[in-house]
Structure formats: C-alpha cells, structure tokens
Amino acid sequence: MVVSTLNELPLLKCSGFGQPWPRHGLDLLYWFAHDYIDLSNGEIVPWFRPQNGNFGFHKYHNRIEEEDHIVPIQNLPYYEVGNLNYPGAEQLPDYVAAKYNRSRPILDSNKDRIIVRLDENGSFNRVYVTEHSDLKRFDSSKTYRVSQDLLQIIQNMSRDQYLSVVTNTREEHVRLQSQSYETPSNNDSWCAIL
C-alpha cells in the first residue's frame, strides 16, 4: 500500500479532499492545523489528548475487509476525527459543521476524516486525510498523508486565504472527477501546473 503525501497547497487542492460543497474536510483540516496542534521542534503536538474524546476524537482500528488497510499497520494507536455525529463533535467550531445535512450524513456533508497516529511521546507522527467510500468503509484511493510542512503552511494562513487557494471551481472539480488521481507529476493533469 502506497499513500501519497500532500506537502503543498496545490496538491491538497488537486487531491479533491473535502470537496465539492457541502463537504467539510477542508474546514476540518484548517481547524486541526490552526487550533488543535502545535508545531514545534519538528513535532506535531496536540493541545488535547485524543484519548479523551474531545472534538469527537476516537480510536481508529484500521481494519477493512481482507488486507486492504488505508494506513500502515503499526504498533502505535490511531485516532480519527471528523464524524459530526460522534459524541464530542459538537465542540468543533461552527464553521466545520455549518454545511452538515443530517438527512444525508455520510454521503455529502459528513464523509471526510482526519486520522492521526499517536507516538509514545504523545505527539502525532503521522497525519492522514481520507473520505468514506460508503457508510462503513474509507476509500484507500482517497487517503493521503499530510506533511508537517503543509500543516505549517495552513497554520500560517487565515481561513479565508486558505479556502481561496484550495477550493476547486465547479469546472476543476468536474475535471478531477473524470481523472483517476495520483499525486501529480510535471507530466500529469492540469493540477500539476497550478
């Protein structure tokens, strides 16, 4: 299993994560980078312990049918956040849940998640973004590692600046949907030249 790494804003935009409207993933990632973690001394340190369930964090067991895991199997615990129905999620800022539609919870406005791997020091040594492919499973082809550099870039931006850079137009989204996405190279699609 190979998980592509998003290390700059154009790659996040091209990944399609959190898009199109009314998905909440881009806002969730902004909150995470801006308000949930501290980036210092080369570590991603959470302000709150994910084990405590704040903001709807809960254990992620990394199990999918057969051997198809979306994140690497490790002896370190994984936690996920982003399910707007999960206890504690009401602590997320209003802008994260603003587009949430309870009548279609996973299919549209509640399908995006952040998964973190907690190391023995209490820091996150891996951060991933993903989305549900159906009501129970995550889509391994839409799972990406988020680099510390990208988190730092997001942390240094206002929410409006960030969204203006990473939000696809309707036309761009249609083009993304018509392609199978892998991390763009210089020879790939329109995303590579943004």
- Domain edges within the chain: 5-160
The pLDDT score that the predictor gives to residue 187 is 36
The pLDDT score that the predictor gives to residue 157 is 97
The pLDDT score that the predictor gives to residue 172 is 72
The pLDDT score that the predictor gives to residue 63 is 58
Q: Say yes or no to pLDDT of 176 above 60.
A: yes
Q: Are strands 112-118 and 78-81 parallel, antiparallel or unpaired?
A: antiparallel
Percent share of the chain, pLDDT over 90: 62
Distance CA 121, CA 123 (A): 6
The pLDDT score that the predictor gives to residue 116 is 96
Q: CB of 146 within 8 A of CB of 44? A: no
The pLDDT score that the predictor gives to residue 142 is 92
Q: Are strands 5-6 and 37-40 parallel, antiparallel or unpaired?
A: unpaired
| CB within 8 Å of 85: residues ≥ 6 apart | 105, 110
Question: Which is more confident, 72 or 17?
Answer: 17
- The average confidence (pLDDT) of the chain is 85
pLDDT band for 169, please (50, 70, 90 cuts). Answer: confident
Sign of CA dihedral 159, 164, 165, 166: positive
Q: Say yes or no to pLDDT of 45 above 90.
A: yes
Question: Which is more confident, 110 or 136?
Answer: 110
Distance CA 133, CA 144 (A): 14
